[in-house]
Structure 1
Amino acid sequence: MNITILGAGAWGTALAISLAERHRVVLWGRDAELIRDSAARRENFRYLPGIRLPDALDVSADFGYAVAHAAVDGLLVAAAPVAGLRGLLERLQPYAPANIIWLCKGFEERTRMLPHQVVRDVLGDFIPAGTLSGPSFAQEVARGLPCALTIATKSHDFRDHVVRAIHGGNIRVYWSEDLVGVEVGGAVKNILAIAAGIADGLGLGYNARAALITRGLTEITRLGVALGGRPETFMGLAGMGDLILTCTGDLSRNRQVGLGLAQGRPLAAIVADLGHVAEGVRCAQTVRALAHERKVSMPITEAVAGVLFDGDPVQQIVARLLARDPRDEAL
């Protein structure tokens, strides 16, 4: 199958490396200098240093060529972060794409839209589309280590098309029709990973981490159901699976943000040192606002947003959460 991945960051590059073993893959990036360097070195030195790009992988900065590659019975993969998704889709409009999946997780800040709503807003409802999500560190996928992902789409035919493209090798694919649930799980877990990083950075122990993850899953489910998601989705890969990985894995950028905050480092310096997008930082304000709007209780998210944007000390997360009244766990 002809597959084009639009976005040469860590996750886009990792997926391209994995799929190039079985398909004809073009990896496009908007930074022409990075793309030329990656093609020459056969390595994306900026985002995945030390991991070789397969000889069969076509790396290009020519947008028209990359889109045309997947035009007939192929697959387009948008690998931009949420902040860049709308711009990428608008650039795609004149090419009348036949289908698309996206990898980003979060909410668009200005509109509070989930990615599938942004896609619908720009491209309409007329093309098969879906999101690919789940617990997946780019470095591990690029190294050929196993992972399991979920494709969420309303179209059964397109679902089967995506499964043929992605499932195989080191990647196992499951499917869901719950776009809202899958995307809410992928967005909110990043905020909770910041909380877990803070707790670990403060030396609060495994008990506290387990409590944060468990109660964090409750917060994800509350918001997801309020926005139209299915409760069972949050017990799957895009909910519990992604949450566990992001809260506990040292490759998690959002967890690293929390660890840095616990050390007293300024947020701007932490994000600059990462060199990658930490979607939990972008997402926290939006999720807090949505929780208020929908009257959904999200105390961990509230505490993280307070640290990130209101100047609350990190120790206040612990004090605020421990001071809450006892309650029925199921509520």
Structure 2
Amino acid sequence: MKITVVGSGGWGTALALLLVENGHDVTLWSHTPAKAVALEETRENPMLKGVPLPPEMKFTADLGAVKGCGAVVMATPSYAVRETAHKLRGIIDPGTVVISVSKGIEKDSSLRLSQVIEEELEGKCPVVVLSGPSHAEEVGRHIPTGVVAAADNLKDAELVQDLFMNPRFRVYTSDDRIGTEICAALKNVIALCAGCTDGMGCGDNTKALLMTRGLAEMARLGVALGGRKETFTGLAGVGDLIVTCTSMHSRNRRYGILIGQGKSVQDALEEIGAVVEGYYAAANARSLAQKVGVEMPISQAAYEVLYNGRDVHAVVSDLMSRAKRSELDESPALLFLQEK
């Protein structure tokens, strides 16, 4: 199949590599002509150092490459999804399967990214979400990985499963696009917080507490929006949460570490030197939670640190001093088992 990957960051490049290995005709689109030329000449992406890009892979800065494609992978940063999808509106063929692999919630509108794409493409293309515990650095090095393809129509998810799946990249299908996208966006916020506790010198106990309670509030929001509880106990939920909160591949965790060590929000962003999706997601998740009336204390705490300048130690103290409550009221895993 002819496929264009829109976005030549580490993740877009790793997915383009997978598709080339699976025998597809793949073009990787870059936002600037200079980057496209550099990728073609060097056959290496600086964000995937040491991973050679095969001669079969093509490079361009012309969005016209999506014309005639059977599938288009949207791999831009979350803040660029609407602008890019808008540019595709008059180019992409109706019926082309669009695969959203960016993770986040749009600022102001509080829309999930698949909704943004659908809105800009005027509903002419089915949108499938691909998400899960999948560091680009490891996918690029052929390390076994498992993800979820989620679509309202399972046949669309199964098509994406067929495109990407091979002996080192396992793809499961789901019809819960809402839950999958909420997992993808909010796990970055929790990972940022996990990094803060690392930077503060807290231990494994703290991280386990944070991840477990973070998962509970992710599930609360996802279910309130129409997602299913079981999605949060799967690869898109707990799987992606584990890998993002514990790995130094995670920019969100590394960013949090710097803040926990006392760096300012802006200085830490500059030191990371790349997009930190959790920074944007903290504000957008807070806005979305307020709209639907869901309590999310960890995400709120992240917002207070990132946007209101609160001290991380004071925020941790506040979280630990919250009113008593029962864990069973909101554990996604236990609620899932009760439904069964």
- Is the TM-score greater than 0.5? yes
1:174 to partner: Cα distance: 0.4
Query: Which of residues 188, 206, 215 in structure 2 aligns to 1:208?
Result: 206
Quick one: distance in 1 between partners of 2:92 and 2:13? 24
1:155 to partner: Cα distance: 1.9
- Over 3 Å counting, the alpha-carbon distance change for 1:169 and 1:29 in structure 2 is farther
Query: Which of residues 127, 133, 136 in structure 1 aligns to 2:134?
Result: 136
Cα pair 1:86 1:118 within 8 Å, conserved: yes
Aligned counterpart, 1:116:
114
Aligned residue runs from structure 1 range 1-331, under 5 A: 1-22=1-22, 23-45=24-46, 47-64=47-64, 66-68=65-67, 70=69, 74-97=70-93, 98-331=96-329
> Which ranges of structure 2 fall in alignment gaps of 5 or more residues?
330-340
1:279 to partner: Cα distance: 0.8
Cα pair 1:201 1:262 within 8 Å, conserved: yes
Cα pair 2:158 2:173 within 8 Å, conserved: no
Instruction: Provide the secondary structure at the position in 2 that maps to 1:20.
Output: helix
1:48 to partner: Cα distance: 2.0
Quick one: distance in 1 between partners of 2:220 and 2:156? 29
1:17 to partner: Cα distance: 1.5
In the TM superposition, what whole-angstrom CA distance separates every residue of 1:64-118 from its partner, at most 9, and x where no partner exists? 1x21351xxx211011111111111111111243221111111111211111211
In the TM superposition, what whole-angstrom CA distance separates every residue of 1:7-54 from its partner, at most 9, and x where no partner exists? 101100111112211222111111111110110010112x22222111
Cα pair 1:2 1:75 within 8 Å, conserved: yes
Instruction: Provide the secondary structure at the position in 1 that maps to 2:4.
Output: strand
**What amino acid maps onto 1:68 in structure 2?**
K
Cα pair 1:8 1:28 within 8 Å, conserved: yes
Instruction: Provide the secondary structure at the position in 2 that maps to 1:265.
Output: coil
Quick one: distance in 1 between partners of 2:256 and 2:155? 41
Q: Give the structure-1-normalised TM-score.
A: 0.95
**What amino acid maps onto 1:279 in structure 2?**
E
Cα pair 2:114 2:128 within 8 Å, conserved: yes
Quick one: distance in 2 between partners of 1:108 and 1:6? 18
**What amino acid maps onto 1:4 in structure 2?**
T
Cα pair 2:67 2:92 within 8 Å, conserved: no
Quick one: distance in 1 between partners of 2:262 and 2:59? 40
Quick one: distance in 1 between partners of 2:302 and 2:154? 38
Quick one: distance in 2 between partners of 1:44 and 1:69? 26
Quick one: distance in 1 between partners of 2:318 and 2:214? 15
Cα pair 2:289 2:295 within 8 Å, conserved: yes
**What amino acid maps onto 1:36 in structure 2?**
V
Instruction: Provide the secondary structure at the position in 1 that maps to 2:208.
Output: helix
1:127 to partner: Cα distance: 2.1
Q: Give the structure-2-normalised TM-score.
A: 0.93
Quick one: distance in 2 between partners of 1:296 and 1:53? 45
Instruction: Provide the secondary structure at the position in 2 that maps to 1:95.
Output: coil
Cα pair 2:198 2:257 within 8 Å, conserved: yes
Quick one: distance in 2 between partners of 1:116 and 1:130? 8
Instruction: Provide the secondary structure at the position in 1 that maps to 2:56.
Output: coil
In the TM superposition, what whole-angstrom CA distance separates every residue of 1:176-207 from its partner, at most 9, and x where no partner exists? 11111000000011111111001111111001
Cα pair 2:154 2:174 within 8 Å, conserved: no
**What amino acid maps onto 2:66 in structure 1?**
V
Quick one: distance in 2 between partners of 1:28 and 1:196? 33
Matched length = 326
Cα pair 2:6 2:12 within 8 Å, conserved: yes
**What amino acid maps onto 1:78 in structure 2?**
M
**What amino acid maps onto 1:42 in structure 2?**
R
Quick one: distance in 1 between partners of 2:66 and 2:289? 38
Instruction: Provide the secondary structure at the position in 2 that maps to 1:172.
Output: strand
Cα pair 1:26 1:69 within 8 Å, conserved: no
- Percent of matched pairs sharing the same residue: 40
Quick one: distance in 2 between partners of 1:49 and 1:268? 26
Larger displacement relative to structure 2 (309-318 or 118-127): 118-127
Quick one: distance in 2 between partners of 1:193 and 1:36? 34
Cα pair 1:5 1:27 within 8 Å, conserved: yes
- Aligned Cα RMSD in Å? 1.3
Moved over 4 A (4+): none
